Amino acid sequence: MNKISNFVEIKKSNKIWAIGSIHSNLKSFESIKKFILNNFKLNDKLIFLGNIIGLGDNSKETLSSAIDLRFKLMSKFKLKPDSIVFLRGAQEEMFTKLLQLQLAPNPSEIIDWMFDHGVNETIKSYGFSELDVKNIATSGTISISKWTANLNKVLQNNPGHTQYFLNLKHAAYSQTKKILFVNRGVDITRPLSAQNDCFWWGFQNFSTIQKPYNTFLKIVRGYESEHIHQSEISKNSVVCTLFRQPLSNKSIVCGIFSENGDIFDLFENK
């Protein structure tokens, strides 16, 4: 995985596959994984649009399965590292901050907020008690540092997990710069380099934009926080949302795109 930049330029692609937020829905992802393994071709590229983990019961197992898919595709097609891209979603952002909890000025409040947003399920999948973590968060810097060190050790014992969190990208775009891939949204008044955390926390009214963002004719994202009717989403010629609310539906939405922003196919797990 490339650590040089927070952005990936996708070069010489035949088809670009994109997977919307998975949220630890392992069974649904295994269906998507099987379809990709059977249909992925030479010179295709694959982008995970963030939120592989969180909310569901199988964060650790789902991440391992995603890493396994990357390994199998890279082995079969002798792909370069940037042919398969993992973007940072809100769940990954929160979990990364959790790994440095000892540096937080108000760790107990942060834990409560994160747990309210689904990080508690990720913690449990790695074998930690939600109550124990809340107690540790009030026990001082030394206790928190010991706990984060233990969490990092557990990650290292799961092949590829530490590297995954260290190498997440903010966005990806085609060599033609006509299609942009993000987790949640962008502020179209600012360049990519000045987005800060808009990529995974979103930006006001992003769903309603109807004009290209710089040279990007299509923006593909993996999460939508509001329950917008799919017919309304489909009317938007710029933003393509690979996610369906409510969260309880356990559906994973995927798409196949050209480097010029054309939609070849949209599909879900079966």
| 3-state secondary structure at position 47 | strand
Domain end call among 110, 137, 161:
161
The pLDDT of residue 227 is 60
Domain interval for residue 102: 93-161
The pLDDT of residue 249 is 85
The pLDDT of residue 1 is 41
Are 21 and 152 within one domain? no
Is residue 231, in this structure, part of any structural domain at all?
yes
Domain end call among 104, 136, 161:
161
Domain end call among 161, 180, 214:
161
Angstrom distance (rounded) from CA 187 to CA 116: 26
Are 256 and 196 within one domain? yes
What is the β-pairing status of strands 16-19 and 171-174? unpaired
Are 116 and 19 within one domain? no
**Kind plus residue range of the DSSP H or E element containing 131:** helix 130-136
The pLDDT of residue 150 is 97
Is residue 25, in this structure, part of any structural domain at all?
yes
Q: Average pLDDT by consecutive 10-residue portion of the chain (270 residues)? A: 76 96 97 97 97 96 98 96 96 96 95 96 97 95 97 98 97 97 95 93 86 95 76 70 89 96 93
Whole-model pTM above 0.85?
yes
Is residue 189, in this structure, part of any structural domain at all?
yes
Are 142 and 189 within one domain? no
The pLDDT of residue 270 is 76
Are 113 and 77 within one domain? no
Angstrom distance (rounded) from CA 270 to CA 31: 6
